[in-house]
Structure 1
Amino acid sequence: MGVSDKRSLFTVIAGAIGLFLMSGNASAELAVNLTEGITPSSKEIYDLHMLIFWVCVGIGLLVYGIMAWSIYHHRKSKGVVASQFHENTTLEVLWTVIPFVILISIAVPATSAMIRLYDASDSELTIKVTGYQWRWRYDYVDHGFGFMSSLSTPFDQITNKSPKGENYLLEVDNPLVLPVNKKVRFVITADDVIHAWWVPALGFKQDAIPGFINEAWAVIEEPGIYRGQCTELCGRGHGYMPIVVEAKTQEEFDKWVSSQKAAQSSDTNGDSTESS
């Protein structure tokens, strides 16, 4: 390969990298990449995603760069005659070993992450999530209370009689309140049809199936409000099953639990009085 050919190959590859970076900036503005999330597992998944993404980018740039250079410098108008050969043992070994090494280097961390993702042991709080048409129920198994969580978007917004709110179709009357920095175990099921519980910031989506219990877990590292949706078509009200998770500090969570227990105890006593 002559000096001019090397410069041309470099120019082609550099141009491809430049175009990719330009498209990457546009993608960032459109927020089309995987969300990093606010849990250790979601961040690990994001890091794996980016690792595999850049491996694929590197392979793509190398392969298409060589293809572009070969097509340009061996075009018919230059009178180039194709080489005639049937095998090259060295090349065959290389294009077998290199992909194998790349796949192993990706498979090992991905498998380790999947094992950790499915390990819900040593949890500090258990939440039972039950899907209904078209709302969710959350039971705090360790604290002995629970409640329904339903869409709270005003009907006038849905029927276009008033302007849409900032969290249109992503707001509920009773959010799921969780403490930060605690391993929370979710046991997820459904009462009628198949649903799916998904909050992108938590880094997982789990099916809610009648008669079955699926597990998931999360450690939320930052206080805040995180929103999600049912992601399994479950009937005409499927689009009206939002999920809102409110993460609080441990002190705030303990106060909230106490207030919930007091309110439900009061409701129970009131019902008993009316019955008598």
Structure 2
Amino acid sequence: MRRRIGRVLFFAGLFYAPLVTAQWQVNLVEGATEISRSVYNLHMIIFYICVAIAVVVFGVMFWSIIWHRKSRGAKAAHFHESTWVEIIWTIVPVAILVSMAVPASTTLIQMYDKNSADIDIQITGYQWKWRYKYLNQDIDFFSTLATPREQISNEQLKGEHYLLEVDNPLVIPAGKKVRFLLTSNDVIHSWWVPALAVKKDAVPGFVNESWTLVDEPGIYRGQCAELCGRDHGFMPIVVDVKSPEDYQQWVAEQASLKVAEAASAQQEMSQAELMSRGEEVYKGTCAACHQLEGQGLPGIFPALAGSPLMTGDPAEHISVVLHGRSGTAMQAFGEQLKAVDLASVITYERNSWGNQGGVVTVQQISKLLKE
């Protein structure tokens, strides 16, 4: 019986192994930039040198073990204080190291040449989102995870880009050199996009630099590569590389959106409209800590359901959302969300899960943001 089961498992393994490993890749990707291809080529050169060294060393070792073993009557030769041996094992490693150092130095010089950038973008890491600020243009936005919570909690099937999709991707033009200035608002993060060969730490109080120049338009995905907290895996990066013409069109659209945002801040919204919009904002921004039903995580994140803050003075609630709470994980969302989103999510929190805290208007928030 055991032999029969063993045969079944063996042949099943032979059948399914190619299917399971079809998407399994252990090597680097060539990437979409000249630098990424240089890194790939450097990696392959070093790899082949290491393979050649291994073949020679292990070949000599096994050949010596088999053909010069004691049972065949072989006697070890002595090279004590041999000048030629000393010269050979000094020159050969030096030659190998030089053959590695030349292409490595060339690639490193390219990677650190951040001069003559066409666009400068400041990238700031937050728990758990990225902020992109275009220093030469009036563009500033946050990029957060767009994967629905229902997929994360296994209530829905996983999407094609599960945990690798965002609401606002970083947009850059193809054929232009883009310099990144990276820092952090809270803990250490790491901005990593493999196809661009960019991986740089974002450290609070410091500014690190990197750059890219992408040849062709496309979508390139990455992640935060630093263990930055409980939801570290929910901090993806999406770079949307557009043609120069489409990029200029996108810049014009961003200017129009700012005008529309300013106009929306003056509009009157009903409680039902605020609640509907606030629910979506809450799911994308607050639910990770305070949970979908507002129950929080005991001892870590406070519950919002039945909280005195939700039903008490709205000014205190607004202040906490806008400015955060020092010494806790509660961030300041005054710069992260639009006035309409702030008003919506605060109203939603004050009127959900049995809370009866009243409405906070967009005009209230807009006035406070201007002060």
Shorter-normalised TM range: 0.7 to 0.9
Residue of structure 2 equivalent to 1:92 = 86
Aligned letter for 2:46?
A: I
Which piece of structure 1 moves more, 264-273 or 247-256? 264-273
Q: How does 1:228-243 map to 2 (within 5 A)?
A: 228-243=222-237
Task: Check if 1:155 corresponds to 2:149.
Answer: yes
Aligned letter for 1:64?
A: F
Residue of structure 1 equivalent to 2:74 = 80
The alpha carbon displacement at 1:92 in A equals 1.5
Gaps (5+ residues) in structure 1?
Answer: 1-26
Which piece of structure 1 moves more, 259-268 or 170-179? 259-268
Aligned letter for 1:80?
A: A
If the length of structure 2 is used for normalisation, what is the TM-score?
Answer: 0.65
Asked whether the equivalents of residues 164 and 222 of structure 2 are also in contact (C-alpha less than 8 Å), the reply is yes
Residues in 1 aligned to 2:110 and 2:88: alpha-carbon distance in whole angstroms? 34
Residue of structure 2 equivalent to 1:186 = 180
Aligned length: 250
Match of 2:249 among 244, 255, 262: 255
More strand by percentage? 1
Asked whether the equivalents of residues 171 and 241 of structure 2 are also in contact (C-alpha less than 8 Å), the reply is yes
- Flag the 1:90–1:28 CA change in 2: closer, same or farther, 3 A: farther
Residues in 2 aligned to 1:81 and 1:204: alpha-carbon distance in whole angstroms? 55
Residues in 2 aligned to 1:62 and 1:115: alpha-carbon distance in whole angstroms? 32
For 1:70-96, what per-residue CA distance to the aligned partner results, in whole angstroms no more than 9, with x for missing partners? 111012221222224423211210110
Asked whether the equivalents of residues 79 and 85 of structure 2 are also in contact (C-alpha less than 8 Å), the reply is no
The alpha carbon displacement at 1:252 in A equals 0.7
- Flag the 1:134–1:85 CA change in 2: closer, same or farther, 3 A: closer
Gaps (5+ residues) in structure 2?
Answer: 1-20, 268-362
For 1:141-194, what per-residue CA distance to the aligned partner results, in whole angstroms no more than 9, with x for missing partners? 111111110001010110111111111100001111111111000011111111
Match of 1:168 among 157, 162, 173: 162
Q: How does 1:1-276 map to 2 (within 5 A)?
A: 30-271=24-265, 274=363
Give structure 1 regions of 4+ aligned residues with deviation exceeding 6 angstroms: none
For 1:225-273, what per-residue CA distance to the aligned partner results, in whole angstroms no more than 9, with x for missing partners? 1110001111111110000011111111111110011111221244367
Q: Percent of aligned positions with the same letter in both sequences?
A: 52
Residues in 2 aligned to 1:186 and 1:272: alpha-carbon distance in whole angstroms? 35
SS at match of 2:43: helix
Residue of structure 2 equivalent to 1:20 = none
SS at match of 2:265: helix
Residues in 2 aligned to 1:182 and 1:55: alpha-carbon distance in whole angstroms? 35
SS at match of 1:162: coil
The alpha carbon displacement at 1:29 in A equals 6.7
The alpha carbon displacement at 1:108 in A equals 2.3
Residues in 1 aligned to 2:266 and 2:88: alpha-carbon distance in whole angstroms? 78
Residues in 1 aligned to 2:258 and 2:101: alpha-carbon distance in whole angstroms? 49
